[in-house]
Chain A
């Protein structure tokens, strides 16, 4: 191992690129389930991002762009879950599971909040319309649906469970016939 002298970073400077040892044809896939419980407080969303992106980075079939998609989509699901607890007199935690298999990573986010009907959300106006500027929210669900390969939202009287599935590049290539 080579030890480099400490180099202080300036704000905004990119972190040095982490060494990448991904060689999909030979690398092992570390499968299993990571379970995380967090308080329903927004400050914990960054911890969730850290954990799920860390798990995805271990996967040889998840390139950095796909890890980023997962990070964004799971962050949105977690933010929604925490928001659903607002005004609810409950100390219940938000539960996340991150199930890693050779083909995919499946993340579930379960809350105990008020629940919501995803089909009841209004569509955003066309980007070219001046009306679009009147909508500062409503993009989280779109990000989840566009960035995950499968999105399932199961509302119930006791809360909502969001299931997001991200395929690894091997499965994606197979799906494309490559």
Chain B
């Protein structure tokens, strides 16, 4: 546990030394701000609700979070500091969980920065706190799943751009799975919907904390860390 915390702390601190992280978070906040101010329907639905906000943020996450996670392992491999890290007494799973912890702390900071919107909306009519809380919890878990997919992509390459693109593709795939499948085979759509993050997220956005949704997000996270551990270990295999 101490090791995971040490790695997470270091990783979190290093985000604030990285222009990429600042840039990504600025673009993200700008995108939300732009929607908020210029797209009338975004809030003006005759009621004070954050529904549209919660529907759109996950789509932005598909680009934001892989940009945050792309460097986690890829950058260490490129600069060689990976050798230093991997020859310390750290289990491969601890290494990945530590990295994920650091990135999740950064996600929390990002989410806290968006709290301005519910606060502003609340000025124009009392906002129902339940759905907002549910929505934020949902965003955190979807974000966690996205970060872990991005982390997995980052273990496969030395190149951050490749890690970003792979991560974004993985996130988009899991998020909109049933939508893609629906295009090709409408019959399968509902079956696959269970495997699609966005379908689960719709219930979060309504303010319902759906355990199935949480479990699904956590499953993607755990699976990504497991596969990532496997990819790190493969380095130690012969030939």
A and B: bona fide binding partners: no
